[in-house]
Structure formats: structure tokens, C-alpha cells
Amino acid sequence: MASLRRLLPLHSSLLCISSLQRTAYSPSGAREGFGGSFRGYNAIASTEGAVLKFEEEDRRVEADHSAPDDEIAKIRREFDAAKQSFLKIPEALKGMPKMNPEGIYVNKNLRLEDIQVYGFDYDYTLAHYSANLQSLIYDLAKEHMVNEFRYPESCLEFKYDPKFPIRGLYYDKLKGCLLKLDFFGSIEPEGCYFGRRKLSREEIQKIYGTRHIGRDQARGLVGLMDFFCFSESCLIADMVQHFVDAKLDFDASYIYQDVNRAIQHVHRSGFAHRGIISDPQRYLVKNGQLLRFLNMLKEKGKKLFLMTNSPYYFVDGGMRFMLEDSMGCGESWRELFDVVIAKANKPDFYTSEHPFRCYDVEKDTLAFTKVDAFLPNKIYYHGCLKSFLQITKWNGPEVIYFGDHLFSDLRGPSKAGWRTAAIIHELENEIRIQNEDSYRFEQAKFHIIQELLGKLHATIANSQKSEAYKSLLEDLNEERQKARSVMKRMFNRSFGATFLTDTGQESAFSYNIHQYADVYTSKPENFLFYSPEAWLHVPFDIKIMPHHVKVPSSLFKTR
């Protein structure tokens, strides 16, 4: 299991996001700002032109007393007509294409025929775990905090809440808030919690001053991006809430440090490993399709390697359990792989110069001889990318690595020139929800309200806000919030969807997937549905995340 988990400083990630935001809509690649191209005109504007402008402004102001009211009335009629169409799901919605929950989604074009080497992480990549694992990690960590860090024994009563956390949240070590951020690094208004209490927009404004996370604030944030973060983020929130309820002073950074140390101890001590291996039926999911996928790659002449931070005994026990119903008598899962590396210490693996050590399975010892070649049916510990490439002679672009951890599994390989495949198990459920007519119905309603709000705001550029305006604005905002709330509850009652914010923006988690994963899918065996010679290409009409379908408001005909 991954032990070093926060590798990418958040502030550098958000700076990239901010740069993207500033340049995304610049015409012809210009970056001097929206006003840059008009400076010359403004400098030479004549006095006569200014006078004519003011006269025209006076006439427009006189007309504005009546024109906005007419426009507001028109928007009100459009809104009333739209509400009538909201009473039933339009037939056109049912004809929209469905996305494949088990599909492969592409951020960067990839020709599979060019890939000769397939590498895999173990946890949450080859190994599929049940929901029971999060409770195990949570319970072991809280017990360690009570027994070793002297937290109150009442904390032992805490229970893991699977309905609270999602992947891709950030914890503010300075202010103690658990945050969901959008693609551009702004706080999701409905996704900011202090302990287990959701903060209001007014409270967010008071704490942060603005929704956008700047450079200085980003230094205090830590990303919770892998599958172990579910138990970690829930335990952080529960501990914060404990101190709040007890009316005790506390430092938010200490809460994070203690929870993180406890989670790391659970992994490094082997408590979680032994708990899983002692009862694999409870925690692991058998998977015959995985064996079929790996055998297909071998038959096509591909090279395979397994590289994990977990110890060998844990991987061996898990693989034998998962594949025991699919493999013949006398067969070993190790024969599927050309190289097996355990305790690789990712992400340091990609930048260090640690030597490889050959591991004796029978004696549980490491050899002292230098590793100059990877021999069949041998297990290797530690190592580094530099030695790995020297020994295998595998070139970067012909290697694809599958992993679930955005930073330790994907960031290092992508910078090393390997292709990357992100494994995101919750992707299947989120796509199934987005495929439902009820979700798309709410999404279309949301887009209609957004369009009407845009029209309404445009009518008051030069006029005072009338009562008709205020009434319509309130009604539109109320209807928009209803649609947001319904969509959010379809995913997660606290934070909504993993890939989207309540406002319809892609999330910060989406940004990291977009940046570090060439392709992403819910599990490696989804590649069985594609030919090993297939060309995986980015859709021509992609906006950001290729698995998202934007439901157009035109499905509802308003007059």
C-alpha cells in the first residue's frame, strides 16, 4: 500500500490551474488580457467622440427605465413556460447516447499497438477491495490515536461513515476545513466542512475572504487523492468535530499530522495487511476477468511487470485468493509477470538511485548480490527507475503503467516518459448515474436556469434593480438550487460527484486526472473490450473530461 502520499505541492498545482484559467479564452493565443488590444483606440479617442458618447448614453438611460422591465417580463414568460416543461422528462432525452461505465476515456491519444510493456500497481489496481476495507483502516487508525497519541477513549466510539467522504478533497491544515475545489482552484460553495458541519457561503467568505484559493492559502492545503483517503478524511472530520463539541482549543495542523501518522502506521506496521490476508473473503473481490486480461496480453507478446509498495507476502496472498478459481492446479500468478517488484517505495522510486535487492521467498531475506538482470520467477525489492530502465532496456513511450494514486502511481511515470492509465473504481457508478434520465433531466433544467439568469443579469447593466427583477432573480436562484441539490444527492450527500462540482464545473480531482493520466477507466480488465492494436483517441468535441455528457437546454422547447 502506498506510504508516501502527498507528493505534488498543492500551490504549484493551483498555479497551473490559474494559468490555464487566464489563457483559456484568449483569442489567437493572446495573453496580455482582455483589454490589451483596445489600448490604442482608447488613447486616441477624440473629444468630439466623447461628447457624442455621453449624449447617446443620456438617451439610452431614458429608454432604460422601460426597456429592462419589458425584458424582465419576457424572461419571466420564458421561465413560466420552462417550468411547465419541467413537469415531465422530454422524449428527446431518452434518445441521447449513454456513456459506457466500463469504457476507456482518453485525455491524450494512445496507440495500443505501440505499447509493448504493461506495468501494474497492486492495491486498487489489480486488487479490488470491498467497502469493508475502509472501516478496517479507520478503526485501526483511531485505536492507534487513542493508545499511542493519548486521544480521549471516547474517540473509540467513532464509526466510519461511508456516505460522508469522496476522493479528491483537500484539508486545510491551518483552518481545519475539509474542502472540495473546482477545476480552477475555487472552493465549492456546498463542499466546505468544518468537522462534520457544512459551512455556509457567509462563513466561507469570512474564513477565506474569497472562494478562490491563492498561492499563500494553497501552501496550507493537502490533497486526499487516493483510495486510502476515504478513511483518512472521515477520521480527520470526526476528530475536528470531537474538539468542537468538547469546546476544546486545538491546532488543525496537529489533527492532520496525528491522523496521517496513524494511517501511515496502519500501513507500515502491517496491521491492515494482516487483517486483509487473515480474512480475504471479507475484504478482497475475486476476479477471473483479470486473469483473462493478463493472459491475453501475454499471448500478444507483451511484457508485463508488477510494481507495488506492498510487501510480497501480502501481494502473494491476495493474488492467490483472487485468482484461485480461475487458475489451473499448479499454476502460479507469478508466471504472468516478467518482473515482480515489491516494496518499491514509490514515488521515490522514480527519482532515487536505490539498488534492487533479490528477495528470498522461503527465508524472508534479501540477497547481497548485485542485481544486473531480472530473472524469471524471482521477486525484487526496492530499486529505482534508472536501474529498472538500464536492466530492461524498455523505452519510455512503449511502457504504460496502471495505478490508482494520482501522484505516486501516475505523476512519476508520466514525467519519466511512460504512458499512464488511471484506475478509478468510482467512475463506473458516476457514469451510471449520469446516464439516468432523472439526472440528465435535472442537468437540462439547471442549464435552462443558467441561461435565463444570464439574460436577466444582462438587462440591468444601466438600470436600477426593480421589484420585478428581484422577484424573478429569487425565483430563478431557488429553482437552480433545487436542481443542484437533486443532482448532488444522487452522488454523495456531503460533497456530490467526484468529477463535478455542484455548479457544473469539473473538480480539482478532474484536473489532476486530466494532467497526469493519458487514459482512465474503472479497472484494468476493461481493456479486454478493446483490441491490443486499437487507437484510443481524444473525442473531437471534448471540453475537459471525455466521459461527461452535457445535456443541452434545447431539449426543452420554450416560447
3-state secondary structure string, 321-358? HHHCCCCCCCCCHHHHCCEEEECCCCCHHHCCCCCEEE
**CA-to-CA dists, residue 485 to 195, 344, 447, 505, angstroms:** 21, 43, 14, 15
Please indicate if the annotation marks 249 as binding a ligand.
no
Strand order in the sheet with 169-172: 197-198, 187-194, 177-181, 169-172, 221-224
Match 502520499 to its residue by C-alpha cell: 5
Q: CA-to-CA distance for 501 and 169, rounded, in angstroms?
A: 12
* Residue 155 cell numbers, joined: 474517540
The sign of the dihedral angle between the CA atoms of 108, 227, 190, 96 is positive
Q: CA-to-CA distance for 498 and 180, rounded, in angstroms?
A: 9
Q: Write out the H or E segment, with its range, that includes residue 366.
A: strand 365-366
Match 480461475 to its residue by C-alpha cell: 326
Please indicate if the annotation marks 123 as binding a ligand.
yes
* Residue 20 cell numbers, joined: 490555464
Radius of gyration (Cα) for the chain, nearest Å? 27
Residues taking part in catalysis: 121, 123
For helices 271-278 and 132-147, give the axis angle rounded to 10 degrees. 140
Q: Write out the H or E segment, with its range, that includes residue 233.
A: helix 229-245
Q: CA-to-CA distance for 105 and 117, rounded, in angstroms?
A: 20
φ, ψ of residue 83 to 5 degrees: the values are: -60, -30
* Residue 85 cell numbers, joined: 416543461
* Residue 136 cell numbers, joined: 478496517
* Residue 250 cell numbers, joined: 486545538
Match 481493456 to its residue by C-alpha cell: 527
Vertex 462 angle, CA 460 and 463, to 5°: 60
Q: CA-to-CA distance for 441 and 391, rounded, in angstroms?
A: 55
- Residue pair 240/176 in contact (Cβ under 8 Å)? The answer is yes
Burial of 315 (0-12, 13-18, 19+ CB in 10 A): buried
**CA-to-CA dists, residue 515 to 215, 519, 546, angstroms:** 19, 10, 13
* Residue 93 cell numbers, joined: 432525452
Please indicate if the annotation marks 518 as binding a ligand.
no
- Tell me the β-bridge partners of 403: 422
* Residue 540: Cβ within 10 Å count: 5
* Residue 496: Cβ within 10 Å count: 23
Q: CA-to-CA distance for 500 and 523, rounded, in angstroms?
A: 21
Per the annotation, where are the binding residues? 121, 123, 404
Per the annotation, where are the binding residues for GMP? 123
Per the annotation, where are the binding residues for Mg(2+)? 121, 404
